[in-house]
Amino acid sequence: MSRDQRRLTLKGYLKEYERGGFSPDRPPTLFGLVRELVDILEDSKNPKRMGDAGAHLYKVYDTCAKKYAGREAVACKKGCGYCCHTLVTITAPEIFVLARAVQERWKHPEDSFKADFEKAEAGTRGLTLLQRQTGRLACPLLSESSCSFYMPRPLTCRGYASTSLPACLDLYNHAVNNVPHPLINQAMRSFIFAGLHAALGLTGFDTREFELGHALHVALQPRAEARWLAGEAIFDGVAQAEQAPERAQGRQDFQFLVQVLKDGAYGKDVPANPWFGWTS
């Protein structure tokens, strides 16, 4: 494809994204999200741009999820928190948008959430990823089997769904992971996550994923977002998903997808049919 043809094709995808948002059935619409996130992250006058990128990501995810609601039946119900007793990892933009919501709630001294969070987080801090994954310890944001911060919950949680409660119980009680996931949820999560990684990479930011509780504890410290934006390695003591050997499989495919998005979003040549294996 010539440069002019590529430019025209990209223009079409960006218009499509502008009209209807991202759709996993039309993967190149993701170029629109990558460009929006890059614009937010590049705005150096905005001291809250990391968290703003996270908030925008969730908006796009939720719009997309609404469009596909009901496409595949799920067993998930409010008050069923088995999947909230394992390792959850989170990227920096997501941590800061979550920290914002937590700080808002901490303004109310009568709310016991602050003490509950600190106690639960201290109980999981310093565990290895494997211990966190298999220890059946509740997420510090879980309260009465429901997420206390449903709206700013991480992308990992947003995209996680099961079609079988018995399989979830098997995982919770016996560490046997045969949980079937709806394909549409997996596609939405992988694509949007890849879009975030592409935008962070294009703007020179850290793409690492950190253990949720400890990362949130760090992000709640004074001026955390400003320090992170200034290049301070504030999350370095937090367990990172990249260290998990079980994640090696699939990382290469994911990196390929990220590279396609980085190139395609700005009109560079991409391999033929790069979405193969990612569409539901």
Contacting residue, 80, 147, 165, 183, with ligand SF4 by CB under 6 A = 147
217 binds ligand SF4 (CB under 6 A): no
Other C-beta atoms lying within 10 Å of the C-beta of residue 246: 10
Task: Single out the segment in contact with ligand SF4 by CB under 6 A; choices: 65-73, 135-143, 177-185, 219-227.
Answer: 135-143
Closest distance of CB 276 from ligand SF4, Å: 31
Q: Distance between CA atoms of 229 and 109, rounded to whole angstroms?
A: 30
Contacting residue, 84, 188, 198, 224, with ligand SF4 by CB under 6 A = 84
Return phi, psi of residue 46, to 5°.
-95, 110
Measured CA distances, 91 to 62, 135, 216 (Å): 18, 22, 11
Task: Single out the segment in contact with ligand SF4 by CB under 6 A; choices: 100-108, 152-160, 186-194, 240-248.
Answer: 152-160
User: In sequence order, what are the beta bridge partners of 147?
Assistant: 142
DSSP letter for each residue of 239-280: -BGGG-GGGSTTHHHHHHHHHHHHHHTTT----SSTTTTT--
Contacting residue, 35, 100, 153, 214, with ligand SF4 by CB under 6 A = 153
Closest distance of CB 223 from ligand SF4, Å: 24
Of residues 210 and 278, the one with the C-beta less far from ligand SF4: 210
Closest distance of CB 18 from ligand SF4, Å: 31
Contacting residue, 37, 50, 57, 88, with ligand SF4 by CB under 6 A = 88
**89 in helix, strand or coil?**
strand
Phi/psi region, residue 242 (left: phi>0; alpha: psi -120 to 50; beta: rest), is alpha
Cβ neighbors of 160 (< 8 A, separation 6 or more) are 83, 181, 185, 189
Cα dihedral 256, 261, 264, 269 in deg (nearest 10)? -10
Task: Single out the segment in contact with ligand SF4 by CB under 6 A; choices: 34-42, 140-148, 215-223, 229-237.
Answer: 140-148
139 binds ligand SF4 (CB under 6 A): yes
Closest distance of CB 154 from ligand SF4, Å: 6
Of residues 14 and 138, the one with the C-beta less far from ligand SF4: 138
Of residues 89 and 259, the one with the C-beta less far from ligand SF4: 89
Residue ranges binding ligand SF4 (CB under 6 A): 84, 88, 139, 141-142, 147, 153-154, 157
